[in-house]
Structure 1
Amino acid sequence: MNLPKVVSDLVKTQNAFDSVAYSNCFSETAVVYDEGKTHTGRKEIELWIADANARYEATMQPVSYEEKGTESILKAEASGKFDGSPIILSYHLEIVDDLIQSLRITG
């Protein structure tokens, strides 16, 4: 599967549980929507993913990738310590200047 570098880096850093490198895939003003909460800016994103990594130990395996206008959708199998694991999640991404500007994760 041919993924943009920033998406490939996102997967790689998630699977390594590297919250700093993960947050560096995002712009300074990026927004993440997950589990009904909004996380704004690189520092909040780093804290959010560090907490999620500690709680869920989730890894992701890309299943498909599609670009629709300004939005890209990565479907990935997420496996970890959570009910229903593994599950296919959709990562709705807006990429600007090779960085993620927004991410919305849906089930």
Structure 2
Amino acid sequence: MPQNQAIAFDALPGTITAYLAAHRDADIAAQLGLFAADAAVVDEGHTHTGTTAIAAWMNRSAGAYTYTITPIAAEQSGEGDYTVTQHLAGDFPGGVVDLRFRFTLRAGLIRRLVIEP
């Protein structure tokens, strides 16, 4: 597959669409169930490895700001590698931002998630 090929949202793996829905709904338990035990999340320059650290990151992040999330683009860059760009609007500094959620899947679970502008 060519690098960064645009795909339809309905072509995303179920794990990713389930994560996006759980993230939008702030359902931490549902989000955590989609991660491999040794998964890593990179957000704001910090890496959170393992579901315990990821849960702590989610709990800290969940109440920090109020915002809406709108998916605006999806791409596949390789086997198990997907990027979903989401538009966030809310009460955080700046008020709006487009963030890329770069997923690496393994055996149907999220192995790595990198969130960056």
Same fold at TM > 0.5: yes
Which of 49, 58, 71 matches 1:40?
Answer: 49
User: Which of 76, 82, 94 is the aligned partner of 1:84?
Assistant: 94
- How far does the alpha carbon of each residue in 1:29-55 deviate from its partner, in whole angstroms, 9 at most, with x for none? 000011111101112111101110110
* TM-score, length-scaled by structure 2: 0.83
Counterpart CA distance in 1 for 2:54 and 2:29 is: 9
Q: Distance in 2 between matches of 1:69 and 1:77?
A: 23
Please give the secondary structure, in 2, of the residue aligned with 1:82. Answer: coil
Aligned counterpart, 1:15? 24
Match of 1:105 among 83, 92, 115: 115
Gaps of 5+ in 2: 1-8
Identity of aligned residues (%): 27
Shift of residue 58 of structure 1? 3.8
What is the CA RMSD across the aligned residues, in angstroms?
Answer: 1.4
- CA offsets, 1:75-97, max 9 Å, x none? 11123331122211001110111
Partner of 2:74: 65
Amino acid at match of 1:87: V
Q: State the TM-score, normalized to the length of structure 1.
A: 0.90
